Structure 1
Amino acid sequence: MQPLPDSLRPTAERLFGDRLELAERFVALLAEQGPERGLIGPREVDRLWERHLLNCALMVDGIRVAQPEATTLADVGSGAGLPGVVIAIARPDLQVTLIETMQRRTTWLEEVDADLGLGLEVVRARAEDLHGSRSFDVVTARAVAALDKLARWTLPLVADGGSLLAMKGSSAAEEIGKSHKVLSRLGGEDATISLYGVGEVEVPTTVVQVRRRTKATRKGDARG
């Protein structure tokens, strides 16, 4: 069990509310099984709370800003459940779908869902396999790929007027610049960078938001 540091408790309580115990149970599962199942590195166990749980939980601030009326969310490349499981704990009002290609990881995610009772949908597939058949108000991804490649996989899953929220690092601005043409071609617009958790955690969460144009806007673009 990795105890929640006192310095991080106010942030954890703000983000998880009365579901903080579920977050603590998820941390315990990651600490106990994550390294041996190849989900996290052994060195990550001692910094699960700040580097992983709260880093991901701060995404809920981004969701509130980007899509305050969102009801559906897909997390692409969920892996160990970061950020998808964490978001599901913090936002039980969202219908969360976890999309992952590797069997051993989808098995883990299904076990976590059963243990914590989160009501997740776990889908073993590539994001591309769902293009044209599924759409979500919000699509999230963490450390999956560079933004231009990530956009090809994820933007077709974003509902018109919805948002892609990608957790990124210091290269965020550079990635936006390099992916401008791809984003535009796929219906993406208004790419912005936001930092969440400033003053609460040592390293704030960097999120790139890309909104997907509505059909009306796309028709207007076609006429122009």
Structure 2
Amino acid sequence: MTEAAELPPAPDEAREVFGERFPEAVRYGELLADVGVTRGLIGPREVPRLWERHLLNCAVLSEVVPEGVTVCDVGSGAGLPGIPLALTRPDLRITLLEPLLRRTNFLQEVVELLGLDHVTVVRGRAEEVLGKLPPVHVVTARAVAPLDRLAGWGVPLLRPYGEMLLLKGDTAEEELKHARAALGKLGVVGTSVLHVGEGVVDPLSTVVRVEVGESPGGVRFAAKRAKAARRSPRRRP
């Protein structure tokens, strides 16, 4: 069994970013370093860099999320970026969407412990909840899959003129180049690569923005795929 580790001291930037919710951010970090490790949600080698690489890296996504919108964090895992975003932005209504039971259990515990009344945890895959959850303004995700696959999951969950904000790494530009054809088929009307977190994280966090128009063409395609997925269900741990 993997042993828990101790959360390193928070950098000064964390107090500024999380503001009055800084104590909750610390508690969340402690949970990641403790039960997050023992339950296999994050690797033990990630604990020393939890603040810079995970908590702050995700929190600065708030710089490009519009005010007062609905958000669905697809493949939320241990709550990244959804939980840091929720801590910095109480104006948002956030759904943490995650298919694995052990992860949704952890997410629900975190949401209740931190008093995040504006956050809801839903167990399922994106194609399974299509039509069951209200469309959202923004879909977020953090490098859980290649860009074209992420868009296939996330675009159908969006409202007209919604956007996906995807935390990616150094290969974001290259991924975007290779995914353009697939994105076009999904009804994407605009893409861009943003860099956020100036003065907070180094290197800056890279965000791929994927924008849809009034009637995303991928909605019908995703509905057909969801129907096929229901006919051939995948086993879930």
TM-score with structure 2 setting the length: 0.84
Letter paired with 1:42? P
Equivalent residue in structure 2 for 1:109, among 99, 107, 110: 107
Identical amino acids, percent of aligned pairs: 48
In the alignment, structure 2 segments of 5+ residues that lack a partner are: 1-5, 218-237
For 1:28 and 1:133, the matched residues in 2 are separated by 34
For 2:167 and 2:17, the matched residues in 1 are separated by 17
In structure 2, the partner of 1:131 is 130
Q: SS of the counterpart of 1:25?
A: helix
In the alignment, structure 1 segments of 5+ residues that lack a partner are: 219-224
Post-superposition offset of 1:60: 0.4
Letter paired with 1:138? V
| Runs of 4+ more than 3 Å apart | none
Q: SS of the counterpart of 2:56?
A: helix
Q: SS of the counterpart of 1:145?
A: coil
In structure 1, the partner of 2:148 is 148
In structure 2, the partner of 1:207 is 207
Q: How many residues align?
A: 210
Q: Residue 148 of structure 1 contacts residue 182 of structure 1 at CA under 8 Å; is this kept in 2?
A: yes
Post-superposition offset of 1:70: 4.1
Pairing 1:2–2:4 present: no
Pairing 1:12–2:17 present: no
Letter paired with 2:60? L
1:52-71 → structure 2 map (5 Å cutoff) = 52-63=54-65, 68-71=66-69
For 1:124 and 1:132, the matched residues in 2 are separated by 15
Post-superposition offset of 1:189: 2.0
Question: Deviations 1:106-133 (Å, cap 9, x if unpaired)?
Answer: 0000111111110221111100112234
In structure 1, the partner of 2:90 is 92
In structure 1, the partner of 2:159 is 159
Q: Compare 195-204 and 89-98 and name the one that shifted more.
A: 195-204
Q: SS of the counterpart of 2:95?
A: strand
Q: Residue 132 of structure 1 contacts residue 156 of structure 1 at CA under 8 Å; is this kept in 2?
A: no
In structure 2, the partner of 1:222 is none
Question: Deviations 1:195-221 (Å, cap 9, x if unpaired)?
Answer: 112343222110000111124x98xxx
Q: Residue 8 of structure 2 contacts residue 48 of structure 2 at CA under 8 Å; is this kept in 1?
A: no
For 1:153 and 1:29, the matched residues in 2 are separated by 29
Q: Residue 147 of structure 2 contacts residue 175 of structure 2 at CA under 8 Å; is this kept in 1?
A: yes
In structure 2, the partner of 1:73 is 71
When residues 70 and 212 of structure 1 are mapped into structure 2, their CA distance, relative to the original with a 3 A threshold, is farther
For 1:199 and 1:113, the matched residues in 2 are separated by 28
